[in-house]
Amino acid sequence: MGTGLSIDGIDLYYGAAQALRGVSVEAEPAKITAVLGRNGVGKSSLLRAIAGIQPVARGEIAIGGENMRRTPPYARARLGLGYVPQGREIFPLLTVRENLQTGFAPLKPAERNIPDTVFTLFPVLKNMLSRRGGDLSGGQQQQLAIGRALVTRPRVLILDEPTEGIQPSIIKDIGRALQFLRDELGMTILLVEQYLDFCRDLADSIYIMDRGEILHTGPASDLDKPEIKRHLTV
Ligand SMILES: Nc1ncnc2c1ncn2[C@@H]1O[C@H](COP(=O)(O)OP(=O)(O)OP(=O)(O)O)[C@@H](O)[C@H]1O
| pLDDT tens per residue, range 96-140 | 999 999 989 888 898 899 999 999 999 999 999 999 999 999 999
Give the mutation target among 23, 45, 194, 207 for probing the ligand 1 site: most ligand atoms within 8 A of CB.
Answer: 45
Query: Residue 98: helix, strand or coil by DSSP?
Result: helix
Secondary structure element (H or E) that encloses residue 226, with its range: helix 226-229
Amino acid identity of 229? K
pTM higher than 0.90: yes
Of all protein residues, whose CA lies closest to atom 20 belonging to ligand 1?
A: 40
The angle formed by the CA atoms of residues 83, 87 and 92, to the nearest 5 degrees, is 100
Sequence ranges of the domains in the chain: 29-53+72-229
Tell the residue nearest (CA) to atom 6 of ligand 1. Answer: 14
Q: What is the structure's pLDDT at 228?
A: 87
Per the CB < 8 A criterion, the answer to whether 81 and 156 are in contact is yes
pLDDT level of residue 232 (50, 70, 90 thresholds): confident
Average pLDDT across the chain, whole number:
94
Q: CA–CA separation, 145 vs 91, rounded Å?
A: 10
Protein residue with least CA distance to atom 1, ligand 1: 14
Task: Please tell me the predicted confidence (pLDDT) of residue 227.
Answer: 86
The alpha carbon of 25 and the centre of ligand 1 are apart by a number of angstroms equal to 18
| CATH architecture entry for 29-53+72-229 | 3-Layer(aba) Sandwich (3.40)
